[in-house]
Structure 1
Amino acid sequence: MSRTVLVTGTSSGLGRTTAFALAARGHTVVATLRDPDGRDRAAAAELTAAPGPGRVVVVGLDVRSDTSVADGVGAALQRVGHLDAVVNNAAYALTGVGESVTSAQLQDLLDTNVVGPQRVVRAVLPHLRARRGGLLVFLSSGAGRLALPAMGAYSASKFAVEALAQAYRYELRPLGIDVSIVQPGAFPTNLAASQVQGADTAVLPDYGAALDMAQAVVRGIGSAFTAPQPPDPREVADAIAELVEAPAGQRPERLSVDRFRLGEAVEAVNAGTKEPTDRLLADLGLQAALA
């Protein structure tokens, strides 16, 4: 069955790949870009020309603005009529030892990566609640389950996304709305290339050992890129498409997409926390959230 899906942050990376994958599978995609008539014009043209039985409709939407999100969702509904699913993808990476990350940098990161999805969800939920159905997909990360050296700020934003999404899953289940968290590992997208570094570099000389640890993390996770079958961003896009196509009420809470060592660790954390969390909710009489 063809679905209508809004995807944020489609100018490049996983958002763009997901939009193309969904269209290729016959779905209607609302691809949001911050500036489709300006700096994102080329990306908008390529998205609208996406091959496949589905189609891509481009809408301007900046997740950092309440007004832009409200206007963008309104424009999307006017153009496509309804939404079956929303993929909260728009985000960026901020790395560096914690002391080098300024308050302003952390505030901007959280505004995009955490408050951004919240803005989108608040804008679409009245529509989904009225339909008594739909799917919200939150793009987290392996870094949303594991904190590593020089990734504290980015991990903090994704840990927050995990908590926000999990609570929404409990709250919206009785309304017939599914929520799933997708946890990509390391993939060759523009996320790493476009990452922002901590701005206070004056503190770095004392952090030689921590910087060495950070480089070891990069080397260890990046070793997957030289494997015989390296990770392909399409794996994440296909996983999202399968969630969109899955029967209502049967979508998983979390889905790790990483065939390598980071994915193994994330899946272990997922498995280790689910049973005690579900047991706690049941003990509190909240079975409706788990049904």
Structure 2
Amino acid sequence: MADDDSAISRRTLLSGTATVGALAAGGYGLAAATAQSTDRMPPALAGKSVLITGCSSGFGRLSAMHFASLGAHVIATMRNLPRPEAESLAEEAQAGKLKVDIVEIDVLSDDSVTKGVAEAERLTGGPIDILINNAGIGITGPIELQDMAATKLIFDTNVYGYHRLARAVLPGMRAQKSGHIFAISSQLGRVIVPGAGHYSPTKFAVEAMAEQMAYELVPHNIGVTVIQPGGYPTDIWKKRNVYTKALRDRVSEERKAGYPALVARMGNEDGSGRTADPMDIPRAMAEIIEMPVSERPARRAVHPGNKPQLAINEISAKTQVDWLGNTPYGPWIKAVHKA
């Protein structure tokens, strides 16, 4: 956690001539965040606008309902509207008298992202306060078996999709000098399991992209947090199997023969035996938003079980501070890592 000096140091990094008072007037600045009660349960997000990608199921849908239940105006996005998942989400939100608008965004499309974010800002009446980059896919199997169709699809979804959304919301966030971006990564964004295809490569890229943005956005009072879930029982397993079975069917027998044990698992993993509560993810993000801006973490590992990435997170942060802490980039690096 940052001490008072760290908070003051971060304020001095803000670009332009904005004062702490002006930040507070924006409703999302340091003064406003610091003034929040530390013992309020549950956290209150009234007045905040939240855009979430991939809300048809899993963490996205749960986050949409959770943030809305805390008072936020949620823009829940998904592709291929209309669809049953959108209808059921709208019905659930209406039953709970929650403010959830459903907007079509296909994270693979520049045009769809641009139009979707513009519609979200119209519905919320201004820039987005919180972006949750969540939409993603998995395609398993050895790297050699990942043909270019599978490779392009997973990178376009898991990496370029996050980039598209960040670029779309950041002009508004910078204009209001406030905001926060969450990137849903994975513990596999730091550690690697053989046979997981390009999932780790894409999540490693997400980790790097988010951390770089975190440094660059310090002067704008915009935070970035990487969420690193472990394995949870969501629909990602079923969806991953669809992509993986299609890949397995089109890969040559000669290539598959090189990896019999790994190929045998392709498209047959259902996530059974995983009992952790997927609500851990939206709860963790809500807790982070309730923190003063200067104290929000660069990364949060979320899972009740083993978290092998923690040691890597720690040494990575130390390495960045030791390497660049005394350079002109030092104030940004130290602000992000609370050094």
**If the length of structure 1 is used for normalisation, what is the TM-score?**
0.89
Deviation at 1:44, TM superposition (A): 4.6
Deviation at 1:140, TM superposition (A): 0.4
Deviates more, 1:236-245 or 1:30-39: 30-39
User: How far apart, CA to CA, are the structure 2 residues paired with 1:231 and 1:23?
Assistant: 23
Aligned to 2:314: 271
Correspondence 1:189-208 to 2 at 5 A: 189-195=234-240, 196-197=243-244, 198-199=247-248, 200=251, 202=253, 203-208=255-260
The question of whether the paired residues in 2 share the 8 Å contact of 1:50 and 1:56 is answered with no
User: How far apart, CA to CA, are the structure 2 residues paired with 1:43 and 1:124?
Assistant: 27
2:193 partner SS? coil
1:254 aligns with 2:254: no
1:244-282 Cα distance to aligned partner (Å, 9 max, x none): 222222210000001212x2x111211121111122121
The question of whether the paired residues in 2 share the 8 Å contact of 1:48 and 1:58 is answered with no
Match of 2:105 among 51, 61, 68: 61
Match of 2:328 among 282, 285, 288: 285
Deviation at 1:160, TM superposition (A): 0.5
User: How far apart, CA to CA, are the structure 2 residues paired with 1:48 and 1:201?
Assistant: 47
Distance 1:190 1:283, change over 3 A: same
Amino acid at match of 2:162: P
Distance 1:222 1:277, change over 3 A: farther
User: How far apart, CA to CA, are the structure 1 residues paired with 2:215 and 2:88?
Assistant: 36
Match of 1:72 among 101, 116, 120: 116
User: How far apart, CA to CA, are the structure 2 residues paired with 1:57 and 1:184?
Assistant: 26
The question of whether the paired residues in 2 share the 8 Å contact of 1:47 and 1:56 is answered with no
1:11-31 Cα distance to aligned partner (Å, 9 max, x none): 111100111111122211110
Identity of aligned residues (%): 34
Match of 1:179 among 208, 220, 224: 224
User: How far apart, CA to CA, are the structure 2 residues paired with 1:121 and 1:270?
Assistant: 23
Aligned to 1:151: 196
The question of whether the paired residues in 2 share the 8 Å contact of 1:145 and 1:159 is answered with yes
Correspondence 1:52-201 to 2 at 5 A: 54-82=98-126, 83-195=128-240, 196-197=243-244, 198-199=247-248, 200=251
User: Which protein has the larger Cα radius of gyration, Structure 1 or Structure 2?
Assistant: 2
The root-mean-square deviation of aligned C-alpha atoms, in Å, is 2.1
User: How far apart, CA to CA, are the structure 2 residues paired with 1:39 and 1:64?
Assistant: 21
The question of whether the paired residues in 1 share the 8 Å contact of 2:65 and 2:93 is answered with no
The question of whether the paired residues in 1 share the 8 Å contact of 2:178 and 2:220 is answered with yes
Unaligned stretches of 5+ residues in structure 2: 1-44
User: How far apart, CA to CA, are the structure 1 residues paired with 2:88 and 2:203?
Assistant: 26
The question of whether the paired residues in 1 share the 8 Å contact of 2:72 and 2:99 is answered with yes
User: How far apart, CA to CA, are the structure 2 residues paired with 1:133 and 1:254?
Assistant: 19
The question of whether the paired residues in 2 share the 8 Å contact of 1:34 and 1:40 is answered with no
1:87-134 Cα distance to aligned partner (Å, 9 max, x none): 000101111111211111100110111000111011111100000110
User: How far apart, CA to CA, are the structure 1 residues paired with 2:86 and 2:205?
Assistant: 32
Amino acid at match of 1:55: K
